Amino acid sequence: SAEDEARIAEIKRLLKAQNAVLVAHYYTDDAIQQLAEQTGGCVADSLEMARFGARHEAETLVVAGVRFMGETAKILSPEKRVLMPTLEATCSLDVGCAPDEFSAFCDAHPERTVVVYANTSAAVKARADWVVTSSIAVDVIEHLQARGEKILWAPDKHLGGYIQQKTGADMLMWDGACIVHEEFKARGVEDMKRLYPEAAVLVHPESPASVVALADVAGSTSQLIKAARALPHDTLVVATDRGIFFKMQQAVPEKTLFEAPTAGNGATCKSCAHCPWMAMNALDNLAGALREGRGEIHVGDALREKALAPLERMLNFNA
């Protein structure tokens, strides 16, 4: 619309004027992903967002995603101003892992190496030995297991179960889940396989084990996009937030992509496989953040230092 065009022009102008760069997650709206691409920013998973933001020379990072992504950017780049379109965009994994309870859980198991998913608050990261994203979680746990370490894992039980199954590591699990991926249903995916027997099934491991079991490829968002390219299949059924279709379709313009069903009857539900918090990022609040300096992320020095160590361990890890 004309209104969107005006917003886009305004954002481009403000990014330049403020020496700012837009760092967007795959699950944000197409318009935001496109804008990030057009303005020299990045569209990525949380690991690459963190790397990109830390390396970039801009004075301001505008992080379109959910809260923990903005916090991670600030922890890695304290000298930069980090803005988010809205500070209300959280994550069910973060919400379900309160720092006090988590800390008590860690205290009860002092012999275990604490590994937390990136989808957590700075306070939870501060209590961890390692932070991982889904892109490198399996590699890191494999490495720790080879050193004979026992793991305390939080917060996603589905991702944790998947890693445990892949690595055989001894993992004590926090009971958290992603409300988006948890809704994928094995029965619905089986129906899709019957309808499209030639299709490959791609699944993010935040999904239930019964769905991951049906996958031709299970992996992080960036791994799924790579797989879409590498697989010989022309039809793909994809179980992750539908925001990924923007970049995935760009990667394989000739292929047909289907959303994996979130209902058991094989019907796709257009509004289900989409994170309500990612969806809070819009052109309007993005422009507002830049115009008014709203949505700035602050992390106190003491907390920042504690959360930085396990994050740096992740960024320096080479499988």
Q: Are 75 and 308 in contact (CB under 8 A)?
A: yes
Q: Closer to ligand CIZ at the Cβ: 8 or 228?
A: 228
Out of 91, 106, 115, 159, the residue judged to bind ligand SF4 by CB under 6 A: 91
In the bound state, the residue with its beta carbon closest to ligand CIZ is 45
Nearest-approach distance from CB 1 to ligand CIZ, in angstroms? 29
Q: Closer to ligand SF4 at the Cβ: 26 or 130?
A: 26
CA distances (Å), origin 263, targets 2, 182, 190, 219, 269: 36, 11, 12, 22, 7
Instruction: Measure the N-to-C terminal CA separation of the chain; round to a whole number of Å.
Output: 46
145 binds, among ligand CIZ, ligand SF4, none (CB under 5 to 8 A by kind): none
221 binds, among ligand CIZ, ligand SF4, none (CB under 5 to 8 A by kind): ligand CIZ
Q: How many residues belong to the site for ligand SF4 (CB under 6 A)?
A: 14
28 binds, among ligand CIZ, ligand SF4, none (CB under 5 to 8 A by kind): none
Rounded CA-CA distance 225/234 in Å is: 14
What is the pattern of x (binds ligand SF4, CB under 6 A) and - over residues 159-188?
-------------------xxx--------
What is the pattern of x (binds ligand SF4, CB under 6 A) and - over residues 37-56?
--------------------
| Binding residues for ligand CIZ (CB under 6 A) | 45-46, 118-119, 133-134, 178, 206, 220-221
Alpha-carbon Rg for the chain in angstroms: 19
Rounded CA-CA distance 241/234 in Å is: 20
User: Is residue 278 part of the contact set for ligand SF4 (CB under 6 A)?
Assistant: yes
Position 32: which residue type? I
| Span near ligand SF4 by CB under 6 A; candidates 16-24, 100-108, 122-130, 270-278 | 270-278
Which candidate, 197, 204, 195, places its Cα nearest to that of 225? 204
Nearest-approach distance from CB 246 to ligand SF4, in angstroms? 15
Nearest-approach distance from CB 254 to ligand CIZ, in angstroms? 25
45 binds, among ligand CIZ, ligand SF4, none (CB under 5 to 8 A by kind): ligand CIZ
Q: Are 139 and 130 in contact (CB under 8 A)?
A: no
277 binds, among ligand SF4, ligand CIZ, none (CB under 5 to 8 A by kind): ligand SF4
Q: Closer to ligand SF4 at the Cβ: 8 or 275?
A: 275
- Positions that interact with ligand SF4 (CB under 6 A): 27, 66, 91-93, 119, 178-180, 206, 241, 275, 277-278
